[in-house]
Amino acid sequence: MNDQQLDANDIIIAFIDAQEGIVNVGATNDPQRLRTAIAALADLARIFALPVRVSCVPTTGGTIAPLLAELAARLPDAEPLVRTTPNAMNDPPFAAALAAVHRGTLIIAGIATEVAVRQAALAARRANMRTIIAVDACSGLDPRTEAATFTHLAANGIDLTTVATIAAELAGDFASESGRAAMRVLQSTLVVRSHDHDT
């Protein structure tokens, strides 16, 4: 595990297969919470001017499902790079787009944890990138298989964290405009339960 403080100047975010329709294969994360976490990560990218790369796959029918609405609304200029391999890092346009920004920390979000997220994370780690998975911005095929995947990834030096943790680390000084904005993002990821406010 890497406990080094996150540096906004060294981060790039990859959204992998965060597409309408494909999101439905995720079985380990509540769909609304998944969408909220992905939206929050996209908000952090805007606040801190973090470069974003988006990798997508075609459906079995050959069409390209659109990006999640929450992602498309926040990052309208993000160009989806369509690949035909399970591993985004094996797709030359995606790999070149990552390399072009010369950043050493890759944060990954997407679907499914056991397939596209796992393969991209391991390949990035082999390429000597600090690799971080925002677990609440991912969804797996099955709780048991996703748990095994997280164990394997952690054992291979990949950091597992949450969007709230990323927001808190990037916030820095709460008195700054970006710090306040990051804390609003953090708050957006929290689930407020009605009984928490009962008297």
The sheet carrying 11-16 orders its strands as 80-82, 52-56, 11-16, 105-111, 130-139, 159-161
Q: Which CATH code fits 9-197?
A: 3.40.50.850
Q: pLDDT tens for residues 79-112?
A: 899 999 999 999 999 999 999 999 999 999 999 9
Which residue has tokens 């393969």?
119
Q: What is the mean pLDDT of each run of 10 residues along the chain (199 residues)?
A: 85 97 92 96 97 91 89 93 94 95 97 98 97 98 98 98 96 91 91 49
* Mean per-residue pLDDT of the chain: 92
Q: Is the pTM of this model over 0.85?
A: yes
